[in-house]
Amino acid sequence: MNLGGKVMVLKKAKVKAESGGLLLFEKVEDAVRAEEILSEADYTVRLVAPPPTFRMGCDLAIEINLVEQIGIGRLFREKGVNYLKVVPLKGAGRLLDVVKVTEFKDATMVKAGNMKVTFDKNKGTILNVSGGGCPDIPYLSASLIGKKLSDAPRPKDIGFTLCAMMMDRAVVECLELWRKRSTS
């Protein structure tokens, strides 16, 4: 098989989202405005009536790809859109909030979900990032590796996906460990 070394130009096809998540709103007008903003930003979303178990505010919700929730949350903050919360359509609905810590001789590795961030115990610099599978992770890794924990950008501020959110949790824990150790 040979693809002939081509550069391909294709347009994104519009498909009905199989979402995985719901954005919930207090007011109908917030939901309608949010849908407009997300569509303009090229997110594949849909206004729906939330199932009774998820109903919190108004009778409109937006189906989203659950993975994209941090990028969407940031866009809403920039545009001043109010929303109540994001809920997954299946499962307990809680993001993992536990971490595991592994010690090496001169480094500490923190695991949060599927992400692992390792920092230098003596200098507080980020040595490596591993795990994950979403497309922002290699980009975030390149942005963080070699930087001091205190100076590194927060994955939640520049990433878009749930993997980035887990990376952010690991970075926060690394920073707390580093600060505790430097002050003790």
Partner 1 sequence: MLACGTVPVKDLPLISGRAVFEGEFLSVNGFKVPCAQGTAAMIGGALSVADCLKLEPPQALVVGDTGRGQGSYLLYEFLIQRVSTLSPDVLVLHYCLPDMTLMRKLCESVRSCAKRPLMIADAASMYAAKAAGLATEFDIFTPDLCEMAFLADPDASHPAYINKHLFEADIAKVPELVAAAYQLKSAARLLLVKGAVDYIAEDGKVVDIVSEPNIPELEAIGGTGDVITGIVSALAYAGLELREAAKTSALVNRMAGKLARPSPATRVWQVISQLPAALEQRRVTC
* Residue list 65-124, contact with partner 1 (CB under 8 A): 65-68, 71, 88-98, 100, 102, 104, 106-107, 109, 111, 113-114, 116, 118, 120
Q: What is the x/- site pattern for partner 1, positions 144-183, by CB under 8 A?
A: -x-------------xxxxxxxx-----------------
Residue 81 or 164: which CB sits closer to partner 1? 164
44 half-sphere exposure, CB direction, 13 A CA radius:
12
Asked if residue 30 binds partner 1 (CB under 8 A), the reply is: no
**Whole-angstrom distance, CA of residue 172 vs CA of residue 151:** 12
Asked if residue 54 binds partner 1 (CB under 8 A), the reply is: no
Contact status, residue 48 vs residue 22, Cβ threshold 8 Å: yes
Asked if residue 52 binds partner 1 (CB under 8 A), the reply is: no
Q: Nearest 5 degrees, angle CA 184-CA 178-CA 120?
A: 120
Contact status, residue 124 vs residue 149, Cβ threshold 8 Å: yes
- Rounded to a whole number of angstroms, the minimum distance from the CB of residue 90 to partner 1 is 4
